[in-house]
Amino acid sequence: MTHSLVNSLVTFLAAAETNDPERFTPKVPESDHFWVPNEASTMAGTVDSLFNYIMWVSVISVILIFAAMAYFCIKYRAKDRESNQAALSQVDHSNALEITWSVAPFFFLISIFVWGFKDFVTLYTAPKNSIEIYATGQKWKWTFKYPNGFVDSELHVPKDKNVRILIKSVDVIHSLYLPEFRAKMDAVPGRYTDLWFNATKAGVFPIYCTEYCGKQHSDMLSQVTVHEGNGYEEWLVAKEKEIELLPPAELGQRMYKQFGCAACHTLDGSKNTGPTFKGVFGRVETLSTGQQVKVDENYIRNSIMEPQKDIVQGFPPQMPSFKGQLSDKKIDGIIAFLKTVQ
């Protein structure tokens, strides 16, 4: 009994990293600081100064408390119960002391509060000339829509420019978190929220979802690439062209990844939140109403536009509508792609 417990503990401790190779994992660049990630935006340094100030105030006050506690414990420790040692003094109040230790922290607290308030106002007041990018949260994927209408699953921004991200969600609450920029904002269904930043370092930084959103919350990752010079504009133009020239099935495959279809629909036949795409075209599905339908071009199109209408039996009605997000050309591409997944 104990032997097998020990054995399983050993195997557990030695458990090899069984990372899902399909899972997208951004790299966190080595930071110059112990406590915080790299400072890659204009506000990051400002927020960190306050962070450090609070850190010093905290460390000093905690050390003082611990020191007083330890000192009194050692110095005034009673020998034993038998000797009935009495306290050296029964002093039990001092208004001067009470006022001192109420008022002294007050000044620190006020300074921290005012400082934090000022930075917060700057953090959430986007400058007027910002580049606007729309971010959409959905289970379990971020998509970013650029000013020219191009949509990608990763964020690309120019260095030293003000960028405003308008955030929405199509299902539950998510939260867009860019640690290197010290920026975070919830994506709330039914309204827009926003954040802004001005990136000061070229490079690639992780993006997380920080509001719990269900099964694959921890896989709702992306990354932001900060381009130098004209890199951002060039990237955008090149991407557009690339998409234009793709054959339909490849375009469809691209859309499958970009719009987060992969989060629920597998290609290998395994069951997930939604029906698998393996062999989906031409398959006869039983709907939740009991009706039988054959999956053809029209069924696929309808399922993208109005996914709640015909739900396949045994699956939750969770898919958001993509009406207005996908052009006809892209939908044609998806249909062509699904025909190839056999």
Residue of the chain from 147, 212, 238, 247 that contacts other proteins (CB under 8 A):
212
User: Residue 179, Cβ neighbours under 10 Å: how many?
Assistant: 19
Q: Radius of gyration (Cα) for the chain, nearest Å?
A: 28
Q: Toward other proteins, which CB reaches closer, 36 or 204?
A: 36
Site membership for other proteins, residue 175 (CB under 8 A): yes
Residue of the chain from 1, 3, 5, 89 that contacts other proteins (CB under 8 A):
89
Site membership for other proteins, residue 4 (CB under 8 A): no
Site membership for other proteins, residue 6 (CB under 8 A): no
Cis peptide, bond prior to residue 56, ω within 30 of zero: no
Q: What is the total count of residues that contact other proteins (CB under 8 A)?
A: 100
Residue of the chain from 7, 10, 45, 97 that contacts other proteins (CB under 8 A):
97
Q: Toward other proteins, which CB reaches closer, 9 or 237?
A: 9
Q: Toward other proteins, which CB reaches closer, 32 or 328?
A: 32
Q: How far apart are CA 338 and CA 297, in angstroms?
A: 10
214 φ, ψ to 5°?
Answer: 115, -165
Q: How far apart are CA 76 and CA 78, in angstroms?
A: 6
- 3-state secondary structure (DSSP) of residue 112: helix
Burial status of residue 214 (CB atoms within 10 A of its CB: 0-12, 13-18, 19 or more): middle
96 φ, ψ to 5°?
Answer: -60, -45
Q: Within 48-77, which residues bind other proteins (CB under 8 A)?
A: 50-51, 54-55, 57-58, 61-62, 65-66, 68-69, 72-73, 76-77
Binding mask 100-139 for other proteins (x = CB under 8 A): -xx--xx--xx-xx-xxxxxxx-xx---------------
Residue of the chain from 183, 243, 255, 304 that contacts other proteins (CB under 8 A):
183
Site membership for other proteins, residue 267 (CB under 8 A): no
Site membership for other proteins, residue 37 (CB under 8 A): yes
- Report the interhelical angle of 328-340 vs 248-258 (nearest 10°): 100
